[in-house]
Chains A and B, each alone.
Chain A
Amino acid sequence: MTPTTHATQRQPRWLRSWWYHAAFYAQTWRGSVASSILFPILYLASLGVGVGHLVTAHTGLVEGQTYLHFIAPSLLATTTMQLGEGESLWPVLASVKWIRTYHAAAATPLEPDDILFGKLAWVATRAFVTSIIYTIIVGCFGALTSWWSLTLPLIGVLITLAFSAPLVAYAAAAQSDASFTTLYRFAFVPMFLFSATFYPVSAYPGYLRPVVQFFPLYHGVALVRAAAYGRGSLAIQLAHVAVLVGLAVTGVLWGRRTMRRRLTD
């Protein structure tokens, strides 16, 4: 018998999958980096400074912050959500159905779990780097007033995974991308607009607030603001964390099933 590969293994299998994504990104990153620095600056300049000028003139402070400082942290939450969405639906369906690169990977020592964990680890890596860039930019606009802000990159990773893990699981089982567009129209865009992103939840009538609080992004936005200003009770923040962790864990468990079924049936 030849010795089993365990003895000589240098790199865990999921990490090989992470490397593959990283090597792929290294070939294609140039376009996305410029936009990920330029976009938040333009966004904050337009909404924060421009619209903020009107808000300050008419309403004054929002929850004790200038409008610019109020919306700046939420940008980190919406961006990491969008990263989770964008990395998970079409790219995964392409890999399991159109180009079938995950099938190619499943014919190597990698198991479906390795492919899934490598993918999510890579998405988390991108979320971490993006969140650091955004934290610095938001900080440059003066919107970070607490040392808790140092946790923002981790919160960004958590938000991304809360979206990415369930969506990867869903895409791994999908037969076509028809439902993806529906998801964007009726779930992601409303969530982006109505998760207390641009105004506080107190702006809604009382009976609508539970609806808003049902949105996963709402918990991300609340958490990011709390970290930026260092306010709010720790118990509530932990509840927000629990919601996001719950989504991510559910997504991973579901994804293990769908990925295995898709790649090994």
Chain B
Amino acid sequence: MTNDYVLEARRLVKRFGDFEAVRGIDLSIERGESFGFLGPNGAGKTSTMRMISAVSQPTEGTITIFGLDPSTHGPEIRQRLGIVPQEDSLELELSVRLNLEMFGRYFDLPRRVVRERATELLEFTQLSERANEKVDNLSGGMKRRLTIARGLINRPEILILDEPTTGLDPQARHLLWDRLYRLKREGVTLIITTHYMDEAEQLCDRLVVMDRGTIVAEGAPRSLIDRYSTREVVELRFASDNHEAFHDRLAPFAERLEILPDRVLLYVHEGDATLREIHASGITPSSALVRRSSLEDVFLHLTGRSLSD
């Protein structure tokens, strides 16, 4: 191989009947990179993930993973992948440890190796104390960690995580992020989908923003923000529900304006200064907040919709 791409995809399309979930996307992911797919529900993230997991076949286009074609070398490729699906898909009736050990057998790992790794991974995901408990009794965050541990049982070169922290409380998310950082330091390539901005900003070296089956932007989180947004954002709320009415009065204060159902966003260079000018002009919002631009703003700018839609 001439480059160090572990995964390359060209003109990838996935259709289900008449519905086109993925509409011709290109991807190149380097070894050791932490790569993200950001987009709202229904953007085509999961369909893309299933194709790059060598599980589902693209309707059109080509993929190579480790330089191999998934349509002819699926088992060989998946032997080297770790996949953490959106649903945990654990055996609820069995113990935490058995979930790992039984899964390890799918990879043809000798029993002794599986046992050792299960012990290590339980330690790594802080589940050692629950090793002999039924999975059914675990909290959502613990189940998620176990699913990640399961995805690591074959020491994968690429770990693919679909919405790893959806539905978890902040503490559980931070613990999970910490584990993912460690894996990245150990050289594991991470591929993550998320609809959380902060998650993408925290975890990804590079990401693509997906919307309606296509990639609308690509780059490092910070460079996307620099390219598609201003440095700061002023968020204003008004007592009146009719935020549109404020458009003309607020437009002169900002480079760009977004009117959302519950608030108005002003894209500006210097938030505090703008806010002072607004107050001085006699406009009185019921609340005001100055913050730094985030990927949410990038998404809003690119698609005209917020991610939580």
A130 to chain B minimum Cβ distance, whole angstroms, is 21
Question: Given A101, A107, A109, which contacts B53 in the complex, CB threshold below 8 Å?
Answer: A107
Measured in the bound complex, the distance between the Cα atoms of B55 and A27 in whole Å is 29
Which among B102-110, B184-192, B297-305 touches the partner chain?
B102-110
Whether A24 contacts B91 in the complex (CB less than 8 A), given A107-B55, A110-B75, comes out as yes
In angstroms, how far is the closest chain A Cβ from the Cβ of B109?
9
In chain A, what residue has the closest Cβ to B157? Answer: A2
Residues of A within 8 A of B83 (CB): 107
Q: Decide: A265 near B56, CB < 8 A? Known: A103-B89, A104-B89.
A: yes
Whether B87 lies near A109 (C-beta < 8 A) is no
Asked if residues B78 and A20 are in contact (CB atoms below 8 Å), the reply is no
Instruction: Verify A108–B103 contact, CB threshold 8 A.
Output: yes
A100-B85, A107-B83 given; A10·B108 CB < 8 A: yes
Query: A24 contacts which of B74, B79, B102 (Cβ < 8 Å)?
Result: B102
A23 to B73, CA, bound (A): 28
Bound-state Cα–Cα, A62 to B83, Å: 61
Chain B nearest CB, measured from A232 CB (Å) = 44
Residue of B66, B85, B102 most packed against chain A (CB within 10 A): B102
Does B92 lie at the interface of the complex (its beta carbon under 8 Å from any beta carbon of A)? yes
**What's the least CB distance linking B309 to chain A, in Å?**
26
B55 touches A16 (CB 8 A): no
| Interchain CA distance A2-B73 in the complex, whole Å | 13
- B67 interface hit (Cβ, 8 Å): yes
A5 B79 Cβ-Cβ under 8 A: yes
Cα distance A245–B67 in the bound complex, in angstroms: 43
Contacts of B92 in A (CB 8 A): 99
Given A107-B83, A263-B55, A265-B56, A24-B94 contact (CB < 8 Å): yes
Which of A1, A24, A107 interacts with B85 by CB under 8 Å?
Answer: A107
Residues of B within 8 A of A11 (CB): 108
A1, A108, A111, A264 — most chain B CB neighbours (10 Å): A108
Interface residues contributed by chain B, number (CB under 8 Å): 34
* B210-250 with Cβ < 8 A to chain A: none
Contact mask for chain B residues 90-119; partner A; CB cutoff 8 A; 1 contact, 0 none: 111110001000110111101000000000
Q: Considering only CB atoms, which chain B residue lies closest to A265 in the complex?
A: B56
User: What is the bound-complex CA distance between A110 and B110, given in angstroms?
Assistant: 16
Bound form: Cα–Cα A103–B85 in Å: 9
Say yes or no: is A35 at the interface (Cβ < 8 Å to chain B).
Answer: no
Question: What is the interface of chain A mostly: helix, strand, loop, or mixed?
Answer: helix
- A99 lies within 8 A of B102 (CB): no
B55 / chain A contacts, CB cutoff of 8 Å: 106-107, 263-264
B293 sits at the interface (CB 8 A):
no
Contacts of A264 in B (CB 8 A): 55-57
Interface size class on chain A is 20 to 34
B76 contacts across to A, CB distance below 8 A: 4-6, 109
Q: How far is the CB of B166 from chain A (nearest CB, A)?
A: 16
Given contacts A16-B108, A27-B98, A264-B57, contact A109 B79 (CB under 8 A): yes
Min distance, Cβ B193 to any Cβ of chain A, angstroms:
15
A99 touches B106 (CB 8 A): no
Closest residue of chain B to A100 (Cβ to Cβ) is B89
In the complex, A103 Cα to B150 Cα: how many Å?
A: 14
Cβ of B79: which chain A residues have Cβ within 8 Å of it?
Answer: 5, 108-109
A215 is an interface residue with CB less than 8 A from chain B: no
Q: Which of A147-199 contact B (CB under 8 A)?
A: none
Contact with B along A1-38 (1 / 0, CB 8 A): 11011101111010011011001100110000000000
Bound together, the chains give a CA A105 to CA B67 distance in angstroms of 23
Question: What is the CA–CA distance of A2 and B108 in the complex, to the nearest angstrom?
Answer: 17
Query: How far, in Å, is B127 (CB) from chain A's closest CB?
Result: 18
A28:B93 contact, CB within 8 angstroms: yes
In the bound assembly, the distance between CA atoms of A140 and B107 in angstroms comes to 45
Choose among B16, B56, B80, B91 the residue that contacts A101 (Cβ–Cβ < 8 A): B91
Kindly identify which residue among B57, B102, B106 contacts A109, using a CB–CB cutoff of 8 Å. B106
Q: In the assembled complex, which residues on chain B have CB atoms less than 8 Å from the CB atom of A106?
A: 55
**Which residues on the A side are within 8 Å of B87 (C-beta)?**
100, 103
| Contact flag A108-B106 (CB < 8 Å), given A4-B76, A27-B98 | yes
Which residues of the partner chain B approach A1 to less than 8 Å between Cβ atoms? 67
Q: Are B108 and A109 in contact (CB under 8 A)?
A: yes
The minimal Cβ–Cβ distance linking B86 to chain A, given in whole angstroms, is 9
Residue pair B74, A101 in contact (C-beta under 8 Å) = no
Q: Are A23 and B106 in contact (CB under 8 A)?
A: no
Q: Which of A80-137 contact B (CB under 8 A)?
A: 99-101, 103-111
Contact A23 B108 (CB under 8 A): no
Given contacts A24-B94, A110-B75, A264-B55, A9 and B106 within 8 Å (CB-CB): no
Smallest CB–CB gap between B119 and chain A, Å?
18
Q: Which of A4, A5, A101, A111 contacts B89 (CB 8 A)?
A: A101
17 A-B residue pairings within 8 Å (CB atoms): A2-B66, A6-B76, A9-B108, A10-B108, A16-B108, A27-B93, A27-B94, A99-B89, A99-B91, A100-B85, A107-B78, A108-B103, A109-B74, A109-B75, A109-B108, A110-B75, A265-B16
Closest 4 CB pairs of A and B: A108-B106, A109-B75, A107-B83, A100-B89
